[in-house]
Amino acid sequence: MSFPNPPTSVKLVLLGEAAVGKSSLVLRFVSNDFQENKEPTIGAAFLTQKCTIGDRTIKYEIWDTAGQERFQSLAPMYYRNAQAALVVYDITKPASFIKARHWVKELHEQASKDITIALVGNKYDLAENDNENEESLRKVSIEEGKNLAEEEGLLFFETSAKSSYNVNDVFIGIGNKIPDTSASQGTSSGLNVNGQSNNEGRIDLSAGSNNNRGGADACAC
């Protein structure tokens, strides 16, 4: 009699400048929700989500770190021993892309040598809705993002937490890069930091699901 493999636990940290949409990406992934005026993260928030990718179940243990300068000295505490990281920038703010370069450099120098890093240009919806007669809101080209990802060996995505565009694809891409070590995985402590909400759900990211749309078609929690 065969038994299903236990979930593969993956510690994942989000890094990036304040207001680039890190918390909104996590909220979209975990709850398939979006809040227009989300409060800034204080310190870090911890959330979990179990996902089915192909024949594997992955339990993402997500540390959503604050982007404000005063909290950045805490970042190593969160990315230490992380198997994956999302470095997020806002495609309408060049300064956030410069900061993303900084985080990539720091991860390469101080995080686990085999960490999987995804470079994520968020707020794609703002560029998608550009009017031809007005100056484009996009300030960081897709080529700039791709070039940085190629130089540093990163996964690369442009996303919109608001419309859900490509959000699930980020986690599919990471999951496909993570080795299957389910036999040796433990369970999460469920720690909740600084009063932030701890949410856990389940989402099916199997091939064939429509990952660029919101609502029930995008995920079955």
pLDDT in tens, 117-135: 999 999 999 987 666 656 7
Query: CB of 130 within 8 A of CB of 139?
Result: no
- Mark residue 162 as left, alpha or beta (left: phi above 0; alpha: psi -120 to 50; beta: remaining): alpha
In this structure, of 36-40, 169-173, 187-191, the range with the lowest mean pLDDT score is: 187-191
Answer yes or no: is pLDDT of 107 > 80: yes
The reported pLDDT for the residue numbered 197 is 42
Fold type of domain 8-177: Rossmann fold (3.40.50)
| Residue linked to tokens 């940085």 | 148
Helix ranges, 57-185 (H): 75-79, 94-110, 124-128, 142-152, 167-177
The reported pLDDT for the residue numbered 26 is 97
The reported pLDDT for the residue numbered 208 is 39
pLDDT in tens, 158-177: 999 999 999 999 999 999 99
Q: How far, in Å, CA of 15 to CA of 67, rounded? A: 7
Provide mean pLDDT across the span 107-124: 97
Q: How far, in Å, CA of 32 to CA of 199, rounded? A: 12
* Local confidence band at 179 (pLDDT 50, 70, 90 cut-offs): confident
Answer yes or no: is pLDDT of 20 > 50: yes
Give the domain ranges of the chain.
8-177
Distance of CA 209 to the CA centre of its chain: 19
pLDDT in tens, 22-37: 999 999 999 999 998 7
Question: At 171, which amino acid appears?
Answer: F
